[in-house]
Structure 1
Amino acid sequence: MRAISGLWRWRRNPLRRGTDLAEAWMALGALLLILVAGPVLGTLVGGVAQDALQRSVREQREARQPVTATVIRKLDSSPLDADPETSTGRSLRSRVFADWTAPDGTAHQGPVMANLRSPHRGDHFTIWTDLHGGLSARPLDSATATTHAVLAGFGAALLTTGLVEGGRRFAVWRMVRRRYARWDQAWDRAGPDWGRTGTGS
């Protein structure tokens, strides 16, 4: 971070300009914002994300239940898995036709993905369903939710740091542009007589 580089402008110097002091104050302000606002905002965002994600974990655990399914027959591979390179990650899963009993007691049958390498009729495996027996994804676990919340907080802190430093650099750029414009105006006023003999310079 280069915000600290502007702090030298506080030194007493007869050549120090007002803009130099303004740059120093901006550097100090940016440094304080990065050191204070970044972590505080990151903590707040992480806390809000943690609360929301943990609430989602609880809701999913209440709405989804693991049930035991029984293989009726093995089904052909899905057309989407025809490419052997795409199906390597699913080598431990097989597509089967199975039946299961929902948490509300109703019986269901249908094609599902079983975590069995070579399923046979009568094999048992676990699937996740909603309370009425419809297939659903495994609920989010608490550790994964916490990891996502930490990443969200860290991202918010980094974004704050980037915005503060970007704002400081933009403000300094505008000040430098104005300084150059004033120099050009002063040069234009002095330029026509500069270097001529008899001009009193």
Structure 2
Amino acid sequence: MRAIRGLWRWRGNPLCRTTDLAEAWVALTALLLIVSVAPLAGVLVGGVAQNALQRSVREQHQTRHRMTATVVRALERSPLTVDPESASGGDLRRRVLAHWTAPDGSRHEGPVMVGIDDPGSGDRFAIWTDARGRAVAHPLDSATATTHAVLAGFGTAVAAGALVEAVRRIAVGRMVRRRYARLEQEWDRAGPDWGRTGAGS
């Protein structure tokens, strides 16, 4: 808005310098790019991210299977892993030795993390495995994938806007430095005759 007001103010003004118009046009161009190109870049990147993440969601749901595992015994407490599904970040997961049956019918046993407060032998819980029975992470759900895609698009739009603004500031800074350099040259030429009667005549 300031760029548009600046262009309008200098319209037909005899004191308007070429550099003033150039600065105003650079500012207006940057404003138009921020308003149009940055959101477009965000939408494009968000769309690409959404397609890729939703494809990953489908693949994970096809290749990961929810099975029931049984606790053999609890292992040492590990305060390093926090349950990402819990509402509060204070719910610690417990490490247990468990056994389960893979989708192909093979039996497996190994250490896994569970969200049971006090796991005991025989407790049952859900576990995600691949087709060969190896424990894997919970598959990504569609809503989480969409949230990540939206954040990626928003971040891209903000980054594009910031890049345009940075380029504008650099361009205007160079114009101002050149203007001051020319002004100093003019003062240097006028300096020896400054204040002398009839100078330059």
Say what the alpha-carbon RMSD is for the aligned residues.
2.1
How far residue 95 of structure 1 moved from its aligned partner, in angstroms, is 2.1
Asked if 1:22 corresponds to 2:22, the answer is: yes
Q: TM-score, normalised by structure 1?
A: 0.88
Distance 1:153 1:96, change over 3 A: same
Indicate the SS of the match to 1:89: coil
Distance 1:9 1:175, change over 3 A: farther
2:114 & 2:22 partners in 1: Cα distance? 67
How far residue 134 of structure 1 moved from its aligned partner, in angstroms, is 0.8
Where does residue 84 of structure 2 map in the other structure? none
How far residue 7 of structure 1 moved from its aligned partner, in angstroms, is 3.2
Within a 5 Å distance, the mapping from 1:118-157 to structure 2 comes to 118-157=118-157
Unmatched 5+ stretches in structure 2: 82-88
Within a 5 Å distance, the mapping from 1:68-107 to structure 2 comes to 68-78=68-78, 89-91=90-92, 93-107=93-107
Distance 1:161 1:171, change over 3 A: same
1:197 & 1:12 partners in 2: Cα distance? 34
Where does residue 178 of structure 2 map in the other structure? 178
Distance 1:22 1:116, change over 3 A: same
2:18 & 2:80 partners in 1: Cα distance? 68
Number of residue pairs aligned between Structure 1 and Structure 2? 194
Select between 144-153 and 21-30 the one with higher mean Cα deviation.
21-30
Distance 1:5 1:198, change over 3 A: closer
Where does residue 161 of structure 2 map in the other structure? 161
Q: Percent identity?
A: 68
- Contact persistence 2:3–2:25 (CA under 8 A): no
- Contact persistence 1:129–1:136 (CA under 8 A): yes
More helix by share: 1
Cα deviation 1:163-199 (Å, max 9, x = unaligned): 1111111111111111111111111111011112453
List structure 1 segments (4+ residues) > 6 angstroms apart after TM superposition: none
Read off the aligned partner of 1:89 and give its amino acid letter.
Answer: G
Read off the aligned partner of 2:37 and give its amino acid letter.
Answer: A
Q: TM-score, normalised by structure 2?
A: 0.88
Indicate the SS of the match to 2:12: coil
